[in-house]
Structure 1
């Protein structure tokens, strides 16, 4: 599948990022509908994104926030197919800090995809956006996401208790960060 896009970035020969586009809504909808239980373990939004229209609205908001410099949301494309999503959930220009978020289809885990994506996001934050700090927040028990942060050279800065409610569970979050190296 070839995706025409305003912004795309090649990570390597099998992986690229593409700025979200409304044409992705049916793909996201189909992907998330088959991954509902898996994604809902660690993410609050899957039960509320049930239709293509839900994803169109998400994409429109994301593009508006991108245009305003508040966030960056991209599809993760592996071997030509959308397999997940990654973002700077927030871009704080005053504090020179971004917060990374992501999700990946269960069918594509354990291939090093997310580690490569997060490494690229860190590079973009420090070079293109001139940020000084990149943060990643993961539920304390979400060991795969915590491992991604650690593989990308991030350091555990602390744990925030009662940080998020997922379904009926209240989760604590481990906060990881990496700082720009000054020469």
Structure 2
């Protein structure tokens, strides 16, 4: 199993079937919070939802299409981070992440995104990283900006978040900007 130690108390670990229970527990505690920026929480009504998610993620990882990891803080799964897509032809990846509300403000997401940036540029030899965030999702937008991503544009009416249509801010980081 792929695991990357980010700091002494923080790691990212390739998703595995045993994580389904942990993901479901987080959603049960924080469904309303997570549903504000993610479309899937209202549909996550059991561990089977996450078992299917993990199986699909591992299939896509095996084919080189994505990399989906749990964020593990002090030996507890606290969120998810991924290359939602890996485009080898364009040498581009898109990063997505979510973090349990109770673990925010500790730099966990920022450090995990930085770890994926390093993997993308140094190991996968990508030339571009993209992050999309709802325009109103200021914490995610600030994270991208803090890590050197540049706002490349706004895509209007880009996602239906449980009945609420949102615009997306698209951020990019190119290897040439480093």
The interval holding the TM-score normalised by the smaller chain is over 0.9
Cα RMSD (Å): 1.0
Equivalent residue in structure 1 for 2:148, among 153, 161, 183:
153
Is 1:126 the counterpart of 2:116? The answer is: no
Unaligned ranges ≥5, structure 1: 1-5
1:27-66 pair list within 5 angstroms: 27-66=22-61
Q: C-alpha separation between the residues in 2 aligned to 1:112 and 1:24? A: 22
Q: C-alpha separation between the residues in 2 aligned to 1:116 and 1:63? A: 23
2:78 paired residue number: 83
1:3 paired residue number: none
Q: C-alpha separation between the residues in 1 aligned to 2:40 and 2:172? A: 24
Q: C-alpha separation between the residues in 2 aligned to 1:96 and 1:25? A: 31
1:170 paired residue number: 165
Q: CA deviation at 1:181?
A: 2.9
Equivalent residue in structure 2 for 1:11, among 6, 25, 31:
6
Q: After superposition, what is the alpha-carbon deviation per residue over 1:64-84, rounded to whole angstroms, capped at 9, x for unaligned?
A: 000000000000000110000
Output the TM-score relative to the length of structure 1.
Answer: 0.95
Unaligned ranges ≥5, structure 2: none
Q: How many residues align?
A: 178
1:135 paired residue number: 130
Equivalent residue in structure 1 for 2:93, among 93, 98, 103:
98
Q: C-alpha separation between the residues in 2 aligned to 1:182 and 1:59? A: 34
Distance 1:40 1:182, change over 3 A: closer
Q: C-alpha separation between the residues in 1 aligned to 2:44 and 2:65? A: 22
Report SS of the residue matched to 1:130. coil
- Displaced runs of 4 or more, over 6 A: none
Output the TM-score relative to the length of structure 2.
Answer: 0.98
